[in-house]
Amino acid sequence: MTYETIRFEIDSRQVAYVTLNRPAKQNAMNAAMIAELSDGAGMSDVRVVVLRSEGKTSARAEIWAG
């Protein structure tokens, strides 16, 4: 599957590397990122997840009233 806000790779040791990929927004979580992370969470062939970020990261979420 192609993701817009994360990069997801699994190596031969069943290690998943998840990279938050919204550096312009300091990798703030939004609805799309949460959905993409949830999609990858159900993979049964993964034993370990390494979470990393592209660029600077802040601990926040992007909330829009619409």
In this predicted structure, what is the pLDDT of residue 22?
Answer: 92
Q: Which two tokens stand for residue 39?
A: 């999609």
Handedness of CA 24, 30, 32, 20 (dihedral sign): positive
**Residue-wise pLDDT tens digits, 32-65:** 999 999 887 777 788 899 999 998 877 666 666 5
pTM: 0.79
Which residue has tokens 């601990």?
Answer: 59
